Amino acid sequence: MGEVADKVRATLTDSGAEGEIIWLTVDVPTAAAAAAELGCEVGAIANSLVFEADGAPVLILTSGAHRVDTAHVARALDVSKLRRATPEFVLEHTAQKVGGVAPVGHPHPIRTLVDTWLQKYERVWAAGGEAACVFPTTFDELLHLTGGTPMDVEP
């Protein structure tokens, strides 16, 4: 396992998560690619998207079936500007590269929102810190692992 995935695995274990990181035979940098490889609905993929909100990172775990409505989320967070982060900003704040960002394992806690759409699925899949690894989890476990706030990210 890679160093980043090892850190994510350790965080999951320390937090009492039930799912284990699994390595896929191919990189799955998109929700569609992950769903195809895992044989699940694209909506069951928990995309880890990092945004910049007035200069601070915000991690939004959104269903692969959704797009984040940045104006809606900015109003809900009471920030003047919410924009998709650059790959450099993502790496700086998560220590993980775009395409494999996990909900956990970051150098410092990141404010996290969890798309309420994910609660429709008994099992959701999240990235394990690298583009070829994922782990099974649940909506409730994502809230627990991240200290996240449930939110409708696409009204």
Can you give the residue ranges of every domain in the chain?
3-147
Give per-residue pLDDT as tens, 47-98: 999 999 999 999 999 999 999 999 999 999 999 999 999 999 999 999 999 9
Q: How far apart are CA 57 and CA 109, in angstroms?
A: 10
CATH class in words for 3-147: alpha beta
Q: Is the pLDDT of residue 1 over 80?
A: no
Give per-residue pLDDT as tens, 125-142: 999 999 999 999 999 999
CB within 8 A of 84, min separation 6: which ones? 49, 50, 51, 52, 70
Q: What is the share, in percent, of the chain residues with pLDDT greater than 70?
A: 99
Q: Would you state the pLDDT for residue 135?
A: 97
Residue 155 banded pLDDT, cuts 50, 70, 90: confident
Residue in the block written with tokens 């929102």: 113
pLDDT mean across residues, the chain: 95
Q: How far apart are CA 90 and CA 84, in angstroms?
A: 9
Residue 87: phi and psi, rounded to 5, are: -55, -35
Q: Is the pLDDT of residue 29 over 80?
A: yes
CB within 8 A of 104, min separation 6: which ones? 8, 11, 12, 15, 145, 146
Q: Is the pLDDT of residue 116 over 70?
A: yes
Q: How far apart are CA 19 and CA 37, in angstroms?
A: 18
For 101: left if phi > 0, alpha if psi spans -120 to 50, otherwise beta; the answer is beta
| Averaged pLDDT for residues 94-105 | 96
